A and B are shown apart, each in its own frame.
Chain A
């Protein structure tokens, strides 16, 4: 059954990327009639997550533009039409490679039954493309992976708008860095600092003192450092080399040239998110970062937003004053006052800017954690800059995040591009993964490096700092693609700016009511559910339900993954 779309809206949003989805949610929330439409058959645009099958097809995903359609027939006099889409702002794949055989060697399989148990187990452990693809749907591979600061803008917005109830998160369980030729856990909370065996007692005191002065932000502390680097400041504080490494490269996520005050700000951002939801300041969205765009879209739909994916978007129609009038969807004209669109959807005619910065990205499916331990970890690894290479940010997620099948992990890497993704990550890949080395190190299983089963290198233009108003009609707002920030702070700021421009003086994502607060027309307070029913098992009354609420809330601290992440927990 196909329904025709309504033909008039207040706002049309084209593309379901992060910023587009936040704007759609915010506009629906204040009662605007919103159409959120996409030619893609999936949510998230350049911010989506994919299963293993579909990620290989994202670039040749069939466009359903009707090229033979005579579009002129839908225009009135003096109107112009432009086709959606450009080549300038899409992701660019460098390579997508399997590192394992397509199928299990049949001979080995038939012999298997005669072999001793250990050999059979070993055989079972080895992955094939076929076996991995059978689990394709258990993958949710982010193309723009993000972590969330527990007290960052994103988490605060989710909570204040009540969108948080749609999504589940897991806390990042450790922050790692590469130090003196190996992976080291970064002591980031007070208890970490004191329990660390890698930091001497004197260092502990120095570190605590430094972190405290960064958080307290005593102005005098940084007088004279306005034009100096954060590294210089740390040196002047007589921190040891190891401590400088931890603070500079991991906690402040900085480089040797980062200005002091920026380093202090970054340190504050990290420290202020500690102790809310876990041992580290970070959260990760269950089932991948792509879920987040869907949560905003759901809020928009709940408040009346109309959702239509896989739509044949045939063009944008403008009047003679170059004002956006309508879009042509199939053969239907749909009009709105304003249009918000993702940068990759922008017609070529309006591309008046070019990206000068690019992001190198890579995803690896591996067969064990980069630093195995008894329980499954969710890891942020900050790989320090070296030999002209930029610092690399890496996120390792395991099966408990709902993004990969049992016995696999996914490692995401991203950095500011210098040459290309393969080159930019070469030094990390060589040290962290062991495809070539493992064979010579047989026997010592604990020290085995993970094997790469599948890898994907790609480049994304960094469009966050472009002037996206240049030459764009006044009632069109262009949303940049994913940026290098670890969290969604820049995306939220962009979405808010667009919203405020379209709807000045209106509230941006006020809190949505809870189910209990919704009063449905004609409702009275009697529980009519059981009226006239002969049931013995009846829905219980509200008082009992309230007790039930309380009890459920207390039941959430079991299970390995959620232990120790009570809010307000001391560091």
Chain B
């Protein structure tokens, strides 16, 4: 395989040029701005009346941290959360999750807590969870206090930021904070982890393993 060369070029054991791929899932009540956050992060765009993006199974974006390149494969719920029908497959093997709520809507914060519980129960035990209080640009209509969310995040070991997909506030930062917190050396092990299976791909590229970090 032609692309094997790029592996060989990497100095053995050196930390330079390390590339890690992670599956990141978005969770949260409908209309809190999950897709908008991704669109801002991946494409730098914001649409006030964003319709759910037909056909976007997931988007990818890469960030650089000192010596490491972190590639996020970002999964959107595709609307399956609307009637509480998100498939377990969605968070299988996810190494990171952003649980989003709308700071102008107390109910969405309650729902976010339910999602955190669900992840703690069902997902990979080492998953990095970030809580995003979105729509910070509407802070004058705030219904969820910053301190309340911060305290909840601290109690549960979550990263926490208030974000605005509209103004781009903290959008890159929250992804970067996750990238920094993700384990980039060890393999995720144990049956709850991912990257042990194999994606089936057309052609001669073999298959792609999600979420494994290469040395």
Seen from chain A, the residues whose Cβ lies within 8 Å of a Cβ on chain B are 1, 3, 5, 43, 137-138, 155, 158-160, 164-171, 277, 283, 286-287, 291, 294-295, 297-299, 301-304, 306-311, 399-406, 512-513, 515-516, 518, 520-523, 526-533, 535, 537-540, 544-545, 547-559, 561-562, 565-568
Whether the Cβ atoms of A168 and B210 lie closer than 8 Å is: yes
B87 at the interface (CB under 8 A from A): yes
Chain B residues, CB < 8 A from A529: 40-44, 61, 172
Complex CA distance for A558 and B214, rounded to whole angstroms: 9
Give the contacting residue for B172; candidates A301, A539, A544; CB below 8 A.
A539
- Can you name the residue of chain B whose Cβ is closest to the Cβ of A164? B200
The answer to whether B107 touches A1, judged by C-beta atoms less than 8 angstroms apart, is yes
Q: Is the CB of B44 within 8 A of A515?
A: no
11 A-B Cβ contacts within 8 A? Answer: A3-B30, A138-B192, A167-B197, A167-B200, A170-B198, A286-B197, A529-B44, A530-B172, A535-B173, A550-B3, A553-B3
Please indicate which of the listed interface residues A3, A171, A277, A553 has the most CB atoms of chain B within 10 Å of its own CB: A553
Measuring CB to CB, which residues of chain B are less than 8 angstroms from any residue of chain A? 1, 3-4, 6-7, 10, 17, 19, 21, 29-30, 39-45, 47, 52-66, 69, 71, 78-80, 82-85, 87-90, 92-93, 107-108, 111, 121-122, 168, 172-173, 176, 187, 190-192, 194-202, 204-210, 212, 214
The 4 closest A-B pairs by CB, nearest first: A528-B44, A168-B197, A555-B214, A556-B209
Q: Is the CB of B43 within 8 A of A520?
A: yes
Contact B85 A309 (CB under 8 A): yes
Nearest chain B CB to A241 CB, angstrom units? 37
Chain A residue numbers with a CB within 8 Å of B210 are 168
Q: Find A301's partner among B80, B121, B191 (CB 8 Å cutoff).
A: B80
A523: chain B residues at CB < 8 Å are 43, 45
| Apart from the given pairs A166-B89, A520-B45, A559-B209, 5 other A-B contacts in the complex at a CB distance below 8 Å | A515-B60, A526-B44, A545-B62, A555-B212, A567-B204
Task: Assess whether B194 is in contact with A168, with CB atoms less than 8 Å apart.
Answer: yes
Whether B64 pairs with A540 at a CB distance below 8 angstroms is yes
Please measure, in the bound complex, the distance between the C-alpha atom of A553 and the C-alpha atom of B66, giving whole angstroms: 22
Whether A158 and B200, one on each chain, are in contact in the complex, defined by CB atoms closer than 8 angstroms, is: yes
The complex places the Cα of A211 from the Cα of B73 at a distance, in Å, of: 43
A402 contacts B198, C-beta separation under 8 Å: no
Minimum CB–CB distance for A527 against chain B, Å: 7
Q: Are B205 and A555 in contact (CB under 8 A)?
A: no
| B interface secondary structure, majority | loop
Which residue of B19, B42, B43, B65 contacts A555 across the interface (Cβ within 8 Å)?
B19
**Chain B residues, Cβ within 8 Å of A406:** 190-191
State whether A554 and B89 are in contact (beta carbons under 8 Å apart), knowing that A170-B198, A307-B79 are contacts in the complex: no
Query: What residues on B are CB-neighbors of A532 within 8 Å?
Result: 168
Q: Which one, A311, A516, A547, A559, contacts B187 given CB within 8 A?
A: A559
Assembly CA distance A238 to B52 (angstroms): 65
The docked-state distance in angstroms from the alpha carbon of A545 to that of B197 is 23
Min CB gap A135→B, angstroms? 10
Chain B residue with minimal CB distance to A403?
B191
Are the C-beta atoms of A309 and B84 separated by less than 8 Å?
yes
Q: Which residues of the other chain, B, contact A559 by a CB distance below 8 angstroms?
A: 187, 195-196, 209, 212
Bound Cα distance A525, B168 (Å) = 18
Q: Which single residue of chain B is at the shortest CB-CB distance from A550?
A: B3
Cβ B92 vs Cβ A557 within 8 A? no
Contact between chains at A548 and B196 (CB < 8 Å): no
Do A538 and B89 touch (CB < 8 A)? no
Given A309-B84, A548-B19, answer yes or no on A298-B62 (Cβ-Cβ < 8 Å).
no
Whether A553 lies near B200 (C-beta < 8 A) is no
CA distance A553 to B206 in the complex (A): 8
Contact A164–B201 (Cβ < 8 Å): yes
The residue on B at minimum CB distance from A162 is B57
> Is the Cβ of B214 less than 8 Å from the Cβ of A552?
yes
A5 to B3, CA, bound (A): 48
Instruction: Given A286-B196, A307-B80, A309-B85, check contact A539 B47 (CB 8 Å).
Output: no
Across the interface, B43 reaches (CB within 8 A) one of A283, A295, A528, namely A528
A520 to B51, CA, bound (A): 11
* Bound CA–CA A544/B54 (angstroms): 27
- Given that A555-B214, A559-B196 are contacting pairs, would A550 and B209 also be in contact in the complex, using a CB cutoff of 8 Å? no
Nearest chain B CB to A446 CB, angstrom units: 25
Nearest-neighbour CB distance to chain B for A484, whole angstroms, equals 24
Q: Assuming the A-B contacts A1-B29, A155-B200, A399-B191, are A548 and B79 also in contact, with contact meaning beta carbons closer than 8 angstroms in the complex?
A: no
| CB pair A310 B78 closer than 8 Å | no
- B62 near A43 with CB under 8 A, answer no
Residues of chain B within 8 A of A547, CB atoms compared: 6
B42 touches A556 (CB 8 A): no
When chains A and B are docked, how far (Å) is the Cα of A405 from the Cα of B190?
A: 9
Q: How far is the CA of A354 from the CA of B126 in the complex (A)?
A: 49
User: Which chain A residue lies CB-closest to B200?
Assistant: A164
Residue from A406, A539, A568 whose CB has the most chain B CB atoms within 10 Å: A539
Structural contact, A548 and B206, CB atoms closer than 8 A: no
**Distance, CA A502 to CA B115, complexed state (A):** 38
